């Protein structure tokens, strides 16, 4: 594989010294970019775009052609794993993901299986290999998966949800059934992420998008414990380097100390928690990623710069910070505002690394 020309992101993940604060954006290959929209139209659908290694490579690299980002992230979707379990996943225009065969009973769970990363999910591994070749060592490639709890919410609800009535009903009424579902998903995600590393991913991220809807007790029992199980089974060294793992629970700032004990190298932080406060709470145990409100990118460049400055000052001097948004970039953001954000991080952050 190619020698890495810019490993700032990987070093920051491991709290090693860096000349500046690296930056990338969740959902950086997405609908805010006109070139992405054109490629997606060519693909025919979102799912076909994910399943075409050549086009997935094209859209992964699009933001890197525009912006001096410090990492690339695999273009895929968190629902690829349950999508490979014969649940009839489709993406309905205007309403997001839908499972035609949702998981509602113990018998439904019994029918599930751990997908083969080089079988049912080979299209993802082909994309990882293709992207890694195309990057040619420019920046590291981040692979990812959804957390077992987050995947289960979609599988049980059958689509996105605001109330999570069915999955929480299962949690309280049939906890042993939910536990079996989460265990199957934890084993599936572990294999899936390890296969991404073998195919060329140089860092990994688990998106626990819906962990924040749980009570503290249920977060530990039904989300955090299964992510810790995954971390214990992950390949942590590959190609002579540590493979950092990022854990991001949206809305999970109250549980940072617990997250820091899971074996993750980096904790993602959304915009509801001050990053300086987060650093005080976890100390030097883990690096932190975040955490600008994505809506700041609707402001003018001077205001964006001021917000970047504020977050850098809050984190303070030293390493262990990967600058990012607190969640994915919005589809209606002007790409020029994203450019202003990235430029501000690169311009203002070296003062904190002397």
Residue 27, marked binder: yes
Residue 209, marked binder: yes
Contacts of 229 (CB under 8 A, 6+ apart): 183, 186, 190
Q: How far is Cα 271 from Cα 307, in angstroms, rounded to an integer?
A: 12
Residue 77, marked binder: yes
- Please say if 77 is a catalytic residue: yes
Residue holding tokens 């430029």?
343
Q: How far is CA 28 from CA 83, 301, 305, in A?
A: 23, 18, 19
- Please say if 220 is a catalytic residue: no
Residue 354, marked binder: no
C-beta atoms surrounding 100 within 10 Å: 9
Q: Which of 7, 77, 126, 208 is catalytic?
A: 77
- Please say if 285 is a catalytic residue: no
CB 58 within 8 A of CB 42: no
Q: What are φ and ψ of residue 341, in 5° steps?
A: -60, -50
Closest CA to 146 of 212, 210, 61, 59: 210
What single-letter DSSP state applies at residue 159? B
Q: How far is Cα 78 from Cα 64, in angstroms, rounded to an integer?
A: 22
Residue 29, marked binder: yes
- Please say if 172 is a catalytic residue: no
DSSP per position, 101-130: S---SHHHHHT-----TTTTTHHHHHHHHH
The C-alpha R_g of the chain, in whole angstroms, comes to: 19
Q: How far is Cα 324 from Cα 293, in angstroms, rounded to an integer?
A: 9
| 203-208 β-sheet, strand order | 72-73, 141-146, 203-208, 245-249, 266-268, 287-292, 321-325
Residue 5, marked binder: no
Q: How far is Cα 91 from Cα 17, in angstroms, rounded to an integer?
A: 42
Q: Which of 11, 15, 40, 337 is catalytic?
A: 40
Q: Which of 154, 192, 219, 315 is catalytic?
A: 154
Our CA angle for 158, 215, 295, nearest 5°, is 70
Residue 154, marked binder: yes
Structural tokens at position 19? 């000349």
- What positions carry a catalytic annotation? 27, 31, 40, 77, 154
Residue list, annotated binding site? 27-31, 77, 154, 209, 327
Show binding-site residues for substrate: 27-31, 77, 154, 209, 327
């Amino acid at each position: 594989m190619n020698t890495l020309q810019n490993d700032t992101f990987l070093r920051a993940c491991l709290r090693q010294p860096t000349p500046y604060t690296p930056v990338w954006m969740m959902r950086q290959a997405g609908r805010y970019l006109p070139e992405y929209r054109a490629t997606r139209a060519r693909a025919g659908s979102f799912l076909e775009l994910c399943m075409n290694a050549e086009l997935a490579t094209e859209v992964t690299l699009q933001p890197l052609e525009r912006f001096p980002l410090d990492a690339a992230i695999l273009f895929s979707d968190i629902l690829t794993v349950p999508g490979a379990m014969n649940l009839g996943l489709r993406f309905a225009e205007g309403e997001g993901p839908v499972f035609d065969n949702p998981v509602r009973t113990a018998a439904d769970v019994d029918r599930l299986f751990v997908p083969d990363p080089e079988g049912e999910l080979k299209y993802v591994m082909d994309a990882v290999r293709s992207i890694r070749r195309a990057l040619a060592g420019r920046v590291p490639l981040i692979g990812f998966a959804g957390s077992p709890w987050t995947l289960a919410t979609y599988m049980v609800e059958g689509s996105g949800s605001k109330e999570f009535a069915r999955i929480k009903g299962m949690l309280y009424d049939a906890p042993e059934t939910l536990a079996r579902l989460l265990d199957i998903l934890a084993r599936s995600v572990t294999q899936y992420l390890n296969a991404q590393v073998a195919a060329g991913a140089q860092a990994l991220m688990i998106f626990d998008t819906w962990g924040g809807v749980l009570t503290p007790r249920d977060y530990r029992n039904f989300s955090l414990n299964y992510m810790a199980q995954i971390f214990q089974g992950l390949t942590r060294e590959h190609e002579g380097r540590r493979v950092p793992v990022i854990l991001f629970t949206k809305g999970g700032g109250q549980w940072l100390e617990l997250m820091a004990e899971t074996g993750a190298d980096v904790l993602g932080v959304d915009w509801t928690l001050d990053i300086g406060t987060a650093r005080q709470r976890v100390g030097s145990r883990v690096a932190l990623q975040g955490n600008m409100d994505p809506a700041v990118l609707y402001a003018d460049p001077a205001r964006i710069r001021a917000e970047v400055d504020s977050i850098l000052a809050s984190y303070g001097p030293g390493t262990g910070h990967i600058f990012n948004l607190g969640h994915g970039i919005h589809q209606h953001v002007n790409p020029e505002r994203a450019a202003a954000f990235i430029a501000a991080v690169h311009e203002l952050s070296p003062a904190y690394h002397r």
